[in-house]
Amino acid sequence: MKQTSPLSLGIISGERILGAASLREQVLRAAAGFTALGVERGDCIALLLRNDFPFLVASFAAARIGAYAVPINWHSAPEEVEYILQDCSAKILVAHADLLVRVAAIVPPAMPLLAVEIPPEIRSAYRIDTAAAHILATATVWNEWLLRQDEWNGTPVPMTHSMFYTSGTTGHPKAVRRDPTTTQQERMIDDMRSAIFGIRPGTRVLMPGPLYHAAPNAFGLRAARQADMLVLMPRFNPEEFLRLVAQHRITTVFMVPIMFVRLLQLPQAARQRYDLSSLEFIIHAGAPCPHQVKLAMIEWWGPILNEYYGGTESGPVTFSSSAEYLAHPGSVGKCMPGTRVRIYDDDGRMLPPGEAGEIFMRVDFYPDFTYHRQSDKRREIERDGLISCGDVGYLDDEGYLFICDRKRDMVISGGVNIYPAEIEAVLQHLAGVRDCAVFGIPDPEFGEALMAVVEPQEHHTLSVDAIQVHLRLHLAGYKVPRNIEVRRDLPREDSGKIFKRRLRAPYWENTGRSI
């Protein structure tokens, strides 16, 4: 591949282009502006933004002055946004205009508000009308504010990484606040991300996932620093994805498995309409990928699919190429240099290969972290210097890691541990199933009972009886949900991941138990 200067073709969103020089100027202006608004080292700047230039600018500017960018999932309810703003003591909120209108009532009165005008491609993708996109009288327009700032010329400080709030399946979410990196740590992290993300000068990157998630965020920020081109998608659409790959000769993409599922559901004519020969490196993470889906994608695109496993707290720990996956089906790979993985049972006993238990891991050169204002919670997830992100899995004899399920998603029915991911994987193989979610609901006899919500593909009809027959063919009887609902339009994040908590919450209301 021809080597070019980083970002030589710029960041592209719709018809707009932000070049490297303009990006640098805007970052320096934003850094100076944040400082003028009272932001100091260690402070937080909240971002309520879709994929857009200001997301990248604000993130880089915060890091430059030693502050923490705090991306907020913009799907969050106002009270969820309010909790994060208060918990992190945000000094500033940067938000798209319509999102700012939605949460205006819960924003602290003295907090400076920077409203980002909604560009045409985002307006179109989300069908935002003019009335919903007006600028609040209490807010300052982002672009106008930037132009009034001088460029920052302060003394460089140790780099900070964005502070992400974890999903909060039980109670309020927790913020992962990582120590600033040393020069040596930054170099080692940079080397690791170069290997797992496949981004270097000359690559052309497409960003279809939301930047408010930790993994796409790390990928997108690296691409903005190292790639030849970064193309932002306002939201994922399978055929638009293929069109952008062909138009921009994209080489490198970060994806999540639901994107593969939706691409494979396109008619054959649509899949063959676009030239995808430029693709060189696909990295996916964030959720388990059904085996048949991964095989189908490798058959379509070739052995360019790569996968890593890790968490917001741990960083990337294992890596698997297509060749490794085909040799070890279902695995998420082996430890990368400088990383460790161990499996423990509930009594703290380290388990041998082949036995499933809680996964504990560590990237030795990552700066340490704490949960913001919840250091006790940080201690709860540590064992022998390693940390757990709540997953259950096992190592094989060769050191390849296999994920069974989320420990917190485990359903205990009549004293038996049941892992929903196993049931979901079987459901994905039933013809006509687009997606599904399995979780526990209250049961007066067994404590918990299994509930499955199944979303059919377009123009397909599924019956509860047919679903149960299929499950009984592949699973023990106690793993077959007695409660099954078929419904369309399941609640989802931008990444396509199902909001399982929203499906589960109504069943646990007034039970006295958190979910």
**What's the pLDDT band for 156 if we cut at 50, 70, 90?**
confident
Contacts 24+ apart (CB under 8 A), 292-297: 292/428, 292/429, 293/257, 293/260, 293/261, 293/264, 293/428, 294/257, 294/260, 294/325, 296/260, 296/264, 297/260, 297/263, 297/264
Q: What is the pLDDT, as a whole number, of residue 169?
A: 40
Last-in-domain residue among 156, 184, 212: 184
| Domain assignment of residue 51, yes or no | yes
pLDDT in tens, 240-249: 999 999 999 9
**Would you mind telling me the total number of residues written for the chain in this entry?**
515
| Domain assignment of residue 41, yes or no | yes
Whole-angstrom distance, CA of residue 164 vs CA of residue 69: 9
Q: Which residues contact 76 (CB under 8 A, 6 or more apart)?
A: 84
Query: Which sign does the torsion angle of CA 394, 396, 399, 402 carry?
Result: negative
Task: Please name the helix (run of DSSP H) or strand (run of DSSP E) that holds residue 362, with its range, or none.
Answer: strand 357-363
Q: In what order do the strands lie in the sheet with 334-335?
A: 16-18, 10-13, 229-232, 204-207, 252-255, 281-284, 305-311, 315-320, 334-335
User: Where are the extended beta strands (E) located within 250-348?
Assistant: 252-255, 281-284, 305-311, 315-320, 334-335, 339-344
Range of the domain at 68: 16-184
Last-in-domain residue among 184, 200, 230: 184
Q: Tokens 């193989």: give the residue.
A: 429
Mean pLDDT value of segment 405-425: 77
User: Where are the extended beta strands (E) located within 175-320?
Assistant: 175-178, 204-207, 229-232, 252-255, 281-284, 305-311, 315-320
Q: What is the pLDDT, as a whole number, of residue 287?
A: 76
* CATH at residue 460: 3.30.300.30
For 506, other C-beta atoms within 10 Å of its C-beta total: 8
What total number of domains does the chain contain?
A: 2
**Which amino acid would we find at residue 425?**
A
Instruction: Give the N- to C-terminal CA distance of the chain in Å, as an integer.
Output: 49
What single DSSP character describes residue 514? -
| Domain assignment of residue 193, yes or no | no
What single DSSP character describes residue 446? T
* CATH at residue 20: 3.40.50.12780
Q: What is the pLDDT, as a whole number, of residue 332?
A: 95
Could you give the angle at which helices 53-64 and 20-36 cross, rounded to 10 degrees? 60
- Residue 499 is encoded by which pair of tokens? 């909001």
Q: What is the pLDDT, as a whole number, of residue 501?
A: 80
- Please answer whether residues 301 and 279 qualify as being in contact, where contact means their C-beta atoms are separated by less than 8 angstroms: yes
**What's the pLDDT band for 346 if we cut at 50, 70, 90?**
confident
- pLDDT of 500 above 90: no
Round the average pLDDT of the chain to a whole number and report it.
91
Q: What's the pTM?
A: 0.82
> Which carries the bigger pLDDT value, residue 425 or residue 45?
45
Q: Which of 78-82, 137-141, 306-310 has the lowest mean pLDDT?
A: 78-82
Q: Going by DSSP bridges, is the β-strand pair 175-178/369-371 parallel, antiparallel, or unpaired? A: antiparallel
| Domain assignment of residue 370, yes or no | no
| Domain assignment of residue 72, yes or no | yes
Q: Which residues contact 57 (CB under 8 A, 6 or more apart)?
A: 23, 26, 27, 30
| Domain assignment of residue 127, yes or no | yes
Instruction: Give the 3-state secondary structure of residue 184.
Output: helix
pLDDT in tens, 255-265: 988 889 889 98
Last-in-domain residue among 149, 184, 219: 184
What single DSSP character describes residue 90? -
Query: Which sign does the torsion angle of CA 468, 469, 472, 478 carry?
Result: positive
**What's the pLDDT band for 494 if we cut at 50, 70, 90?**
low
**What's the pLDDT band for 168 if we cut at 50, 70, 90?**
very low
| Domain assignment of residue 162, yes or no | yes
Whole-angstrom distance, CA of residue 22 vs CA of residue 178: 29
Whole-angstrom distance, CA of residue 478 vs CA of residue 137: 58
Q: What is the pLDDT, as a whole number, of residue 497?
A: 76
Q: What is the pLDDT, as a whole number, of residue 492?
A: 84
**What's the pLDDT band for 292 if we cut at 50, 70, 90?**
confident
| Domain assignment of residue 210, yes or no | no
